[in-house]
Amino acid sequence: MPFIKGNIPHNKGKKLSEDTKKAVSETRLKKFKEGKIKIWNKSKKMSEDFKKKLSLFYKENPFSEEHRRNISKAKKGKKPYEMTDKTREKMSKSFKGRKLKPLTEEQKRKISIANKKVIHTPEWNLKIGLTKRGVKKSEKTRQKMSEARLKRVFPIKDTSIEVKLQNFLKEQHIEFSTHYPILGQPDIFIKPNICIFADGCYWHKCPECGFGHGKERDVMVTRELQKQGYVVIRMWEHEINDSSFTESMNLKQTRWQKLLPK
């Protein structure tokens, strides 16, 4: 019966006899055992007294097979952090198709401030590596990290060619930051104004590999960045993967010599 303002419960002020109390409590326990009442106070703590009574009751009256089955069924549907393969597939599909929204000026400014603090010097990388090595992450942290990774707008993982470029720059002790938050989000940015893109041959339609005539957007981004005063270097995947990669990246070569800070 819904509570209506002004109504006085029929049993208000009346004290239950000990017998009635016992009867009520036993009925309640019986119904609970049969699975007929839901636990309304799930998150509330039970009184010690009630817990004792309950455990005694269970000892004397074990759950019926059917109720046990029902409980196990109910539990099966409630694994909070486990995704089905289908959900995972859907998420991955929707993520793949996601296009980056252009950032607002305010967002850009914030990212740029944050980014200034994340410049990967070799010393810094060494430090991070050292701290990471000794620490084992708990399952919870791991879970949180993987969730955060899914939400990230930046690419989930650097491609192997990006990593190759990064390693090369580290060897040369050149400071750089990755996925610099300006137009085109250069894979590597070297202060004060050098943008390096590692373009996959298939996705960026490399003409030399026969995938097309380059991406229009790439050309547009390059031009616009140049207009803004940036120096733009685009490296094709096949160049980076070539055995003469180090040679082509050699700082003594004119292509780089002009660009990199002394």
Helix pair 18-33, 48-60: axis angle to 10 deg: 60
Q: Could you tell me the two tokens for 236?
A: 């094709």
Min CB(204)–Zn ion separation in Å: 8
Helix/strand/coil percentages in the chain, nearest 5: 50, 5, 45
Contact region with Zn ion (CB under 5 A), list: 20-28, 96-104, 191-199, 204-212 = 204-212
- For residues 236 and 249, the answer to whether their CB atoms sit within 8 Å is no
Cβ distance to Zn ion smaller for residue 95 or 203: 203
Selected from 103, 238, 245, 250, the binder of Zn ion by CB under 5 A is: 238
Contact region with Zn ion (CB under 5 A), list: 81-89, 206-214, 219-227, 245-253 = 206-214
Instruction: Report the C-alpha gap between 180 and 10 in whole angstroms.
Output: 71
Find the length of the chain.
262
Q: Is residue 209 within the footprint of Zn ion (CB under 5 A)?
A: yes
Q: How many residues bind Zn ion (CB under 5 A)?
A: 6
H or E segment and range at residue 241: helix 237-241
Q: Is residue 206 within the footprint of Zn ion (CB under 5 A)?
A: yes
Write phi, then psi, for 131 (nearest 5 degrees).
-70, -35
Q: Is residue 235 within the footprint of Zn ion (CB under 5 A)?
A: no
Cβ distance to Zn ion smaller for residue 164 or 180: 164
Q: Could you tell me the two tokens for 64?
A: 């019926």
Integer angstrom CA distances of residue 135 from 126, 129, 130, 146, 166: 15, 10, 9, 17, 25
Min CB(217)–Zn ion separation in Å: 17
Min CB(259)–Zn ion separation in Å: 22
Q: Is residue 196 within the footprint of Zn ion (CB under 5 A)?
A: no
Q: Is residue 236 within the footprint of Zn ion (CB under 5 A)?
A: yes
Q: Is residue 161 within the footprint of Zn ion (CB under 5 A)?
A: no
Q: Could you tell me the two tokens for 192?
A: 């004060």
Selected from 165, 182, 201, 240, the binder of Zn ion by CB under 5 A is: 201
Q: Is residue 197 within the footprint of Zn ion (CB under 5 A)?
A: no
Q: Could you tell me the two tokens for 121?
A: 């010097």
Min CB(216)–Zn ion separation in Å: 17
Binding site for Zn ion (CB under 5 A): 201, 206, 208-209, 236, 238
